[in-house]
Every structure is written in C-alpha cells, then in structure tokens.
Amino acid sequence: MIYVLGSLNLDYVARTRVPKRGETVLADSFETFCGGKGANQAVAAAKLGCKTAMIGRVGADDAGKRLKANLCTAGVDESRVLEKGADSGLAMIWVESGDNRIVVAPNANFRFETREIDEALADAKEGDILITQLEIPPAIVLHALKSAKAKGMVTILDPAPAVPDLPAEIFSFVDIIKPNETETEILTGINPTDEVHIALAVKKLYALGVTKAVLSLGKRGAVCAEGQTITLIEAQNIKVVDTTAAGDTFVGALASKLGAGFDFVTACRFANCAAQITITRKGAAESIPTLAEAEEAFELTKNEKRKTKND
C-alpha cells in the first residue's frame, strides 16, 4: 500500500513566454488541470498498478470537488482528503518551449493537524510506503515521516519546492530522497554538473541521513545512488511538450515498482520511462501514463540496451 501525503492544486496553465517586469503578453493558450505534487504522485502510483491512498486537504469549493473526483477516476482512495475552511490550493504555471515556471498558492494545503496525520496512517503496516513533498508545512512532513518510520514503512521525500532552512531532523527519517538539480544544489551546496559533483552531492545527502538518492538531471536523465553504487539513467531523445508532473510521475512510478518488489535500480529505470512519457503530453495528472504504456516503453528501452550490447 502506498500512502501519499501532500498537496492538491488546481493548475492554471498559460502557454506563453514569461513576461518581463511591467510587460503584458498574450498567451497562445490557457487551460486548467488537476495537479499538486501530492495528487500527481498519488495518481501516478495508482495508474501504474499500486493500491494508493491520498492524504490531503482541499476547500469546500468547486476546485476541491474537481480535485477529489480526479483522484477517484485514477483509482486513488480519497477518503483521507478532508475539506478545510479555506480555498483549494492553486498553481499558476507558465509553459515556454516545454519548460515551466510555477507559482503556488497553498491555501487549504496548509490546514493540517498532526492528530489527523496519525489517524490517516492508523492502518499503515510495516513495508507500506509513505511519499511526501514540501508543498505542505514542514512540521507536518516531519511528523508523518517519524510516524511512518515507527511503523516500519519505507519513506520517500521529494524535496520540492526547495526549502533552504528545512529542519535537519527530517532527513534521518527519509529512506529515499529525489531532488532535481536545483534542489540538490540548495540541499547540498553542490551543483551536480558532472560525475564528480554528482558523487559529491550524493555523499552530502548520505551525510544528512538519507539511505538512497535519486537525482533528476533534466535532459541528462537521472542518477540513482545506493551505497557506493551510482547508476546513470539516460534520458530518451523525445520531443518535450510540457515538463509539468514529470518528477511526480517518476516518484509515483518508483514507489509502485518498489511496492511490487523490484530492486531499486530497476524501479528507477521504469520510473524514468514513465516520466519520459509524461513530458510528451500537456497537463499534470492528465499527462501521467497508464501501466500498459509505461511497461511498453520500459520493454523498448531494455530491447534497445540489448541491441546496443550485441552490436
């Protein structure tokens, strides 16, 4: 069972170049999508084959109803998503040439209480997985990670958005951390530009207390680190449409395969394939692939590796 503690946001997406100070620009298009890092990761885990429950907060508004309905459609248990006395969270996203810039208004996402976290995790068992991120209060993240480790759960932290003054205690309760390049530099002070700096950043993350690490490197792919072994997972040569939810898809896919008993490196390779599909599509939760699509892409990459090896 995978439990995802995190944010639910309604995404307002404009496709345009980012305006300069004091400038008004016309968007090529504008759409709304269901998102939030927590919700995206829960949808990914569920669509990719794992029983998944979302722990989150929404407002008693139309956006909240839409966000909960999106979870249900994907097969996520949304019974732990409670309505709070605030508007639902929203994200304003600018997409330019496939890359995005995001501003988040947390709203109801910041209305958690620690006792509610304990209630939401009451049925969790040893070996279950907890995923969390930082679009909710760090104190709640810390409490949930502590509770999860006390139960023998596997914990995954996506340290996004990056919080420079994140309590150091958090990392001692994290099994797997998955920062991108920017988050890696903020957490470690090291920009993972090459193999040497990647190794140094991983060493620093270990020193913080995490057991394993996955560094998302954008167009360079990703690296997964376990013990002294650092494995490069190369990105595919594909057309990028929208990078929104790519990292969330990776996390959900990683958890789904770990929950199914796959080893860490294989789970990371599968997660990378799933994330690569996401960036070829518009939107957040809507862009996440099905299990069949991700498995087909995974098999293709394995076949390509065999072909290259034989050649």
Catalytic residues: 248
- Identify the three-state secondary structure at position 52: strand
Beta carbons of 143 and 114 less than 8 angstroms apart: yes
Whether 170 contacts 157, CB under 8 Å: yes
Nearest-angstrom CA–CA distance, 114 and 134: 16
Helix axes 246-259, 264-278, angle to 10 degrees: 150
| H helical segments located in the chain | 37-47, 62-74, 114-120, 138-150, 181-188, 195-208, 246-259, 264-278, 291-310
Contacts of 62 (CB under 8 A, 6+ apart): none
Ramachandran angles phi, psi of 218, nearest 5°: 60, -125
User: For residue 292, what are the CA distances in angstroms to 128, 138, 270, 295, 296?
Assistant: 24, 35, 12, 5, 6
CA-based nearest residue to 300, from 228, 222, 238: 238
Whose structure tokens read 């969330």?
A: 248
